Amino acid sequence: MLALVWFIGWTGYWLVWDQPAQQVAVTSMRLLDGLPIFGEPLARLYVSDRTVPSLLFFVVFFLHMLLPLGIAVGLVVHLMRVSRARLLPNRALSLALLGGMALASIAVPAPLDAPARMAVKATNLTVDAWYLSPLALGLRFQHAGLWIALFGGTALGAVVPWLLGRRRPAPSFQATIDQSRCRACTQCVQDCPFDAITMVARTDGKHRPGQAEVDPARCVGCGVCGGSCDSEGLTLPWFDTRGQEARLQREIVDARGRRDATWVALVSSDIDGGYGYGARGEWERTLAGFEIHFVPTASWVRPKFVEQLLATDTAGVLVVRDARAEAWARDGGRWVGERLEAKRHPEFRQERAGGGAWCVVDFDPARPDALARAAAEFRAGAERGVLRPRRSRVMAAVAGVGLAALIGAATVAPSHLRVTNPASPAPELVLSFKALGAMVEPAPLDPAKEAAKPVHMRGRATNKPHRAPVIVRLTIDGAVHERSYAGKGISHDGPAIDEWRVPLAEGEHQVTVEIMPGLGVPALRWSGPIRAVKARLALISYEPAAGFVVE
């Protein structure tokens, strides 16, 4: 999908047909000419304005408009493989993104250089750091540079998941099920953020509609399912529900012996920073007056466990959960609040909890003071239930404007880079030709050699008709240069096609071009003056139908 996004931008810069677009088109054609599949070099189409094919622009436009549909299909396929995917950010962030892009496009529209002229060598180019970065290699190393960029980018993209992929420990962190305790309530199936639990046929003979089964390939060991199972049938091997709840109760009872009332804070260890957030000492300073205990995730806390704590003279239970949208437990983090509010099974039953209170607080790592304030208000009796960080509307608006400005700057700055064209500004003579060499028929069969061959190989020519190499002689101010060009095709039976570029000094030059097909065929000749101008190309082209054309 990244490659599609890049290619859409690459073709979009092509369509405006300014000087950077000219370089994009020529570089793309040289890239394709590196593949030995085309009968004629495609780069020859871009040697002059006269030969630029308008049909190719239609093809590029078609790809530019069609490929976004491919991205949409890729997104659909991706989201079908992700459970409970969030398609869009919240409204404020969406507006900030949209506003930033709109303001950037209105205030600083996309740059346009001078119109493309194939005979003009641009001195400077305005490029986009993302879309046109391969152009730098293409201009310096011709088609090889762009192939290096494409293969290098593909290789890097393939290596990144391996480099950044999370190294999972041995498969002992996934949830396990005690089937003898499973009552087939399906609550764990509904709560699992990763669709790692399914219901299957019963295997122990009990008269239940089914039993839960964990897919270890999908389970990340977040512990949400532990809080879903009121019968304690689901647990984590590294944080067993029954064992850990008993341990926590013992520690809380011991702490109660040291003070009149105990306030307990169950802190989700999947919070950004988790155990490492200033270690226990920092948490104790933030949650002053609370007994701190860490749990795998906030929704691991079962309502029954909170009931048991409050029924044994615990003054209050504070559950601290991760407020990030992409928390480790994903949307499973919010189930603890709904369970304690009796909106989701298993439900919290106040009549079993006595007179104690509970509170669920969302922790924002950017605002630890908000957590400290909420904890103090909870102990004072002012706050109860599920508390979420309250943000000032003014601060939210300021943050939105700042984000929009940042997005605009990040969008505009890399797209207005002014770079120097690495091509030499010296004038050049370009000879582009397509000429048919004389046809060379196979030599007649030698009877003596035929008699020496096996019977089944006699009477067959071992060579095929082909065309003689075309000799091109270029004379510039009396200096003679000569090259030989074989016919295209495996059998060399096609025309000789190529470009010949010669640097020139500025000023007037006398040039003679001779194309000699060979074997008695008259040579094709042109002679005349050529004026070399800085940063421009002087083009002499030859086609069998049009003859010599000077531009």
Question: Residue 147: its pLDDT value, please?
Answer: 75
Residue 201 CB burial class (10 angstroms; 0-12, 13-18, ≥19): exposed
**157-215 per-position pLDDT tens digit:** 888 877 776 655 555 789 999 988 999 999 999 999 999 999 999 988 888 889 999 99
* Range with the largest mean pLDDT of 47-56, 170-179, 264-273: 47-56
Indicate the pLDDT class of residue 516, thresholds 50, 70 and 90. very high
Closest among 274, 387, 380 to 329, alpha carbons compared = 274
Residue 539 has pLDDT above 70, yes or no: yes
Least confident of 34-48, 166-180, 428-442: 166-180
The beta strands (E) that lie in 183-288 are given as: 197-200, 211-214, 234-235, 262-268
Fold of 169-238: Alpha-Beta Plaits (3.30.70)
Where does 247-390 sit in CATH, by number? 3.40.50
Residue 276's pLDDT is 45
Is the pLDDT reported for residue 275 higher than 60? Answer: no
Portion of the chain with pLDDT greater than 90, in percent: 37
Q: Contact at 8 Å (CB) between 481 and 502?
A: yes
The confidence score (pLDDT) of residue 335 equals 93
Percent above pLDDT 70 for the chain: 94
Residues forming a β-bridge with 360? 319, 386
Least reliable range by pLDDT among 167-171, 462-466, 518-522, 540-544: 167-171
| Least trusted range by pLDDT, from 100-114, 302-316, 379-393, 422-436 | 379-393
Q: Note the pLDDT of residue 43.
A: 83
The answer on pLDDT for 414 being more than 60 is yes
> Once rounded to an integer, what is the mean pLDDT over residues 246-273?
84
Neighbours of 485 (CB within 10 A): 18
Environment class of 371 (CB within 10 Å of its CB; exposed 0-12, middle 13-18, buried 19+): buried
The residue-averaged pLDDT of 495-512 equals 93
For residues 432 and 452, the model is more confident at 432
Per-residue model confidence as pLDDT tens digits over 55-89? 888 999 999 999 998 888 888 888 877 777 777 77
> Who wins on pLDDT, 325 or 31?
31
Give residue 8's pLDDT band: very low, low, confident or very high (50, 70, 90). Answer: very high
State residue 349's pLDDT score: 92
Q: What's the mean per-residue pLDDT of the chain?
A: 86
DSSP code of residue 166: -
For residues 527 and 521, give the distance between their C-alpha atoms in angstroms, rounded to a whole number.
Answer: 19
pLDDT score at 184? 92
Q: What is the mean pLDDT of residues 297-302?
A: 94
Mean pLDDT over 521-546 rounds to 93
Q: What is the pLDDT of residue 454?
A: 80
Weakest-pLDDT range from 16-25, 251-260, 262-271, 522-531:
251-260
More confident residue, 32 or 342: 342
Cα angle 369, 321, 164 (rounded to 5 degrees) comes to 100
- Return the pLDDT at 145: 66
Give 514's contacts (C-beta < 8 A, 6+ positions apart).
471, 472, 473, 474, 475, 523, 524, 525
Dihedral sign for Cα atoms in the order 203, 207, 209, 211:
negative
Lowest mean pLDDT among 104-118, 360-374, 384-398: 384-398
- Whether residue 222 has pLDDT greater than 50: yes
Beta carbons of 294 and 269 less than 8 angstroms apart: yes
Q: Say what the pLDDT of residue 158 is.
A: 83
Residue 300 has pLDDT above 90, yes or no: yes
Go through 399-430 and write b for each residue having 16 or more CB atoms within 10 A of its CB, e for each that does not: ebeebbeebbeeebeebeeeeebeeeeebbbb
- Which residue ranges make up each domain of the chain? 2-165+412-418, 169-238, 247-390, 428-550
CA distance 472 to 435: 10
